[in-house]
Structure 1
Amino acid sequence: MTITRRDALAGASAAVAALALPGGATAHEPPPAFVTREGTRLMRHGKPYRIVGANLWYAAWLGADAEFGDRARLLRELDRLKALGINNLRIMAAAEEGPLRNSIKPGFTRADGLENPALFEGLDFALAAIAERRMTAVLVLSNFWEWSGGLQTIQWRATGRFIDMGDPAHPWPAFADATAAAYANPQVVALYLLHVRALLARRNSVTGTRYADDPAIMSWQLANEPRPGGSDAAIAANRAAYLAWIAKTAEVIRAIAPHQLVSLGQEGTQATNGDGALVAEAHAAVDYVTAHIWPLNWSWVRGDDLEGTWPEGKRKVEAYIAAHVAIAEALGKPLLIEEFGFPRDGEAYAPGVATTFREAYYRTIYDAVETSWSTGGVIGGSNFWAWNGEARAAHPDARFRDGDRAYMGDPPHEPQGWYGVFDSDAAMHRVIRAHAALAAATA
């Protein structure tokens, strides 16, 4: 290669600029407080950053200084999670109000398309509290599913049409196929990116830090479980638009927030009807691979016979993990198991019911993570679904109703208490705490 005078001058200028930066870092190197990726490892402060995480989708709602908020409870929940050894929280940073039957209200975006300042300020408060506890957050920028409005509601704003998940007039996979049409609709994508850019440019009202400069934000996540469709035909038809949406959004985020990671939020091959090649393509433009694992939802176990079905369910869980390890290895990127949930014994919802098989399931996930940590593998950590904390179901049928304020990890379309971990679940706490202690001891 021939080096020109221009190249030499550029190199000299870069060297001078590097000397002017703290610690001799170059302009392209993030400060050490940011979580970064080095090959298949996540790093922070110069050493591997092992994710011992939880899902806390409702953090911004509790953080709001409004009738629907409860800042005191949010601080209590964060303190409980910190005491368990949790260092990373996956939270919703988007919700769209509209006509969908089971979507949470209020949202970050009102039905008229205007922002709801109270929720943005709630997110500010939550991020400040997370940073104060030396934790990090994954901010989820939309949702494929209906419970926070998501892409289906953004399509309604753009087109006036919508489909409710579970509507008998539109059986599966109609909802998934209709939602996946969002990626090819320029108006829908523009509305989606409007919210993304607003968050990237936002300055935290509590800390004064611009979101794009905040090391407490580990990752910007494109959406919760974005799928290219539900039917094979829709997946094939939407493939190009889906991949283009991922690449475009990642490009937008990196241009404004180059020090923070970008993630997709996909379940893995369950989202592509088994197409591992599409999972790999979908993660080519982001920083790490994500996998979600739901044995009951995917009929790998039966809630009324966990004892009889768990052994085969466990084998399927382990095979699913192995398949996504292989994808991450081929891409040379970390893998995070960022959602995994399991019912209580007998598929009960009340916090007093035993968690025998849930404990076994968590240990299965944690065993895979810990083995990866000890062998230098690609699994960087996990986030259990989800933290219920001190919340309790407000109604005897354990169903969420508009106006309820006892937010918990089970979102509003699901039975309250189905998968979440309560503050009283001592046996579950022991499992989580032991995993976190091992992460701290071997980091």
Structure 2
Amino acid sequence: MTLSRRAVLAALAAAPALATPAAASAPKGFVAVRDGRLVLDGKPYRFVGGNLWYGAWLGSPAAYGDRARLGRELDKLKSLGVTNLRILGSGERSPAKVALDPTFRGPGQDYSADLLTGLDVVLAEMGKRDMKAVIYLNNFWDWSGGMPAYLNWTGNGAWFQQGDPAHPWPLFADYSARFYGDDKANALFRHYVKALVGRVSTVTGKAYRDDPAIMAWQLANEPRPGGSEAFGVGNLPTYYRWISETAAYIKTLDANHLVSTGSEGAMGCLEREACVVEAHKPAAIDYVTLHVWPNNWGWIDPKNQPATYATGEARCIDYVTRHIALAKGLNKPLVIEEFGLIRDDRAFAPDAPASLKDRFYKTIHGLALADMKAGGPVAGTNFWAWNGEGRAQHPDAWFAKGDKSYVGDPPQEEQGLFGVFDTDTSTLAVIAEHAKAVAAL
């Protein structure tokens, strides 16, 4: 449930003393925070963005890489007005059936030179196009290995994969959330973070900390304190401490870049708005993040989308509006960094009708634009996700290990379920129209 407004206001009352962003005076070309807003070289920084988790895979020199495609994808996104991309900078070897392979690391310290070089390449190419990257360093979900992979390595309980019928929801979320209190797992994680954040690009020769193509480091994709009330509430202090200490640690390695949580908002925080406030209070957390997933949260029924859309859309509008208010109370910027809806009739194919998806995009874009015009905390949006030229390689549209035609839908989902293909004319027009409106501000 959502806490009462009185409880949320009480939590916010303690926030201002802790909410002074650490990146208020960044070097030229770096995104910073000033007066609760994102700025770039002294001017408001507003953007239209997307998610391209597989950027490092395309940039890799290995056989699964495709640098020519990477260049074309970035050019296409730039032509639409997309200037900010959220990309995956980690990946842990996992026995999960739907996990990525290859990945950045196993349990040792022999990190993948190919994928690290791939990350160098995508950052260099984004820099050439005046685009900014948000790089997430871990994942609550096991499609990239993530926190469950670390727990598997340290032997913290019996490992199982998401969706295992023998371990129904919310057991997976409770299991993954053990990560925050596992000292051995976090020692492994921090070693990787130190290596990555402290890296020097093999392409530009520039240290990552000195690269303005990076907007922010992100602690993880959708970190949650747990799934059940019984486990999650008791785990909240550990969860808050992990956020605060990990963000502060990254700042010791790189004082030039912003740091964010990767949180979904209240729906990823035991449906508690006060949890969102507490998670974003630390001074080392520079802005608030928000994800909006009405199909996954049961607000819009994927099997009966037309009949349930209007009610679900209203809940989404309320959800975004509430989080704008939370960001204002924290005096921090807000980025709606994931939002998505399935196509009509739950189709996966390129060019399949997407009338309600397009309407949903317009709704989220409209909320963001209105707040930007009002001088509010919203800095930008990142739709989920860019499929571009990628296509499903199998008739059932599921990802299989060894596939190279990466799309924005991760291996845990059918390839094409939420993503935007380069031929999705109507959705591309919605994105381009919004980008034009934001650029005109």
TM range (shorter): over 0.9
| 2:81 equivalent in structure 1 | 85
| 2:399 equivalent in structure 1 | 400
In structure 2, what is the Cα distance between the partners aligned to 1:134 and 1:403? 32
Q: Note if 1:95 corresponds to 2:94.
A: no
Aligned residue among 30, 41, 65 for 2:61: 65
Q: Note if 1:274 corresponds to 2:274.
A: no
The Cα offsets for residues 375-434 of structure 1, whole Å up to 9 and x where unpaired, read as 101111110000000111111100111110010000011000000000001111111001
| 1:305 equivalent in structure 2 | 304
In structure 2, what is the Cα distance between the partners aligned to 1:274 and 1:249? 23
Structure 1 gaps of 5+ residues are 1-26
Aligned residue among 188, 191, 216 for 2:185: 188
**SS of equivalent residue, structure 1 residue 215:** coil
Higher mean C-alpha deviation, range 103-112 or range 223-232: 103-112
| 2:229 equivalent in structure 1 | 232
**SS of equivalent residue, structure 2 residue 440:** helix
| 2:4 equivalent in structure 1 | none
Shift of 1:235: 1.3
**SS of equivalent residue, structure 1 residue 143:** coil
Shift of 1:39: 2.3
| 1:35 equivalent in structure 2 | 31
In structure 1, what is the Cα distance between the partners aligned to 2:418 and 2:93? 25
Q: Note if 1:221 corresponds to 2:241.
A: no
Aligned residues: 416
| 2:313 equivalent in structure 1 | 314
| 1:4 equivalent in structure 2 | none
Aligned residue among 97, 103, 125 for 1:107: 103
| 1:260 equivalent in structure 2 | 257
The Cα offsets for residues 34-81 of structure 1, whole Å up to 9 and x where unpaired, read as 000112210112211102100000000000000111111011100000
1:40–1:378: 8 Å Cα contact kept in structure 2? Answer: yes
Q: Note if 1:200 corresponds to 2:200.
A: no
In structure 2, what is the Cα distance between the partners aligned to 1:50 and 1:106? 34
**Structure 1: which amino acid aligns with 2:84?**
N
Matches within 5 A, 1:345-384: 345-384=344-383
Aligned residues: CA RMSD: 1.2
**Structure 1: which amino acid aligns with 2:337?**
E
Q: Flag the 1:112–1:252 CA change in 2: closer, same or farther, 3 A.
A: closer
2:78–2:129: 8 Å Cα contact kept in structure 1? Answer: yes
**SS of equivalent residue, structure 1 residue 197:** helix
**Structure 1: which amino acid aligns with 2:350?**
P
The Cα offsets for residues 230-253 of structure 1, whole Å up to 9 and x where unpaired, read as 001111121111111111111111
Q: Note if 1:387 corresponds to 2:386.
A: yes
More RCO (CA 8 Å, sep 6+): 2
In structure 2, what is the Cα distance between the partners aligned to 1:205 and 1:310? 48
In structure 1, what is the Cα distance between the partners aligned to 2:356 and 2:207? 43
1:98–1:111: 8 Å Cα contact kept in structure 2? Answer: no
**SS of equivalent residue, structure 1 residue 105:** coil
Higher mean C-alpha deviation, range 162-171 or range 132-141: 162-171
Q: Note if 1:249 corresponds to 2:246.
A: yes
